[in-house]
Amino acid sequence: MNKERAGKSRSKRRKSGSKVKTTLKIIGGVALVLVLLFAGSRIPSLIKTRETLIDFGFKDVGKLVTQQWYGRMVEDSSTDRTIKDLIHIPFTESRLIFSIDVEVLAAIDFAEIEYEMMEEENKVVISLPHAEIYKAYEVQNSFKLYLESESIFNNISAEEQQAMKDKIVDDAKEKALETGLLDNADANAKTLITNMVRGNERTKDYDVEFQYKE
């Protein structure tokens, strides 16, 4: 009888000990879950903090064309042979009249743009360089010949024709500058930069102030 009671007592202890272990495992599991949940709740917060850093992406743009000039330029050139640059030799004159289309591009280097956030005033101060001529070139397949009169004694060489075209391109650059190419390029760049600033959720209502670098 006593043996049976002792056996039952040991059995109860085992069951009791098993319940305690199970309870501890559950508590430990719950604690682990809570730790993971807490850590998980912190991760989005850290990511969100990084996302609030202001980067308008100016460095990624590089040199951006903000204005172009396009025009047709006509060249009327003649050449003849002379004696000591004083006496023109008859029947040696060659004349060439042609035109080419020229495109002149003005650009701003966005990689040089710097900015300062003035959050108390809801303002962004942009420091940027002025626009410069980025490229000027003869438009492909735009050559048109109007007159070609060459003397058998004095032909216009391919090198001389290319020199004429190069001069036309230089003249076109000057003409483009006279029409306000760079001023228009600066104005267009300001509009683009303003849109980039206000495209950011954090600065969409900010004023944009511009300062040009020397």
Residue 180: pLDDT above 90? yes
- pLDDT per residue over 41-66, tens digit each? 443 433 333 334 466 777 777 899 99
pLDDT (average), residues 70-92: 65
Q: Find, among 40, 60, 75, the residue nearest to 145 by Cα.
A: 75
Q: Where in the chain are the domains?
A: 1-53, 58-212
The more confident residue out of 158 and 94 is: 158
Q: Please provide the average confidence, as pLDDT, over all residues in the chain.
A: 76
Determine the pLDDT at residue 113. Answer: 92
Q: For the chain, what percent of residues have pLDDT higher than 70?
A: 64
The more confident residue out of 171 and 148 is: 171
- pLDDT per residue over 106-163, tens digit each? 999 999 999 998 888 999 999 999 999 999 999 999 999 998 776 555 677 888 889 9
Determine the pLDDT at residue 147. Answer: 83
Determine the pLDDT at residue 46. Answer: 35
Determine the pLDDT at residue 92. Answer: 53
Residue 82: pLDDT above 50? no
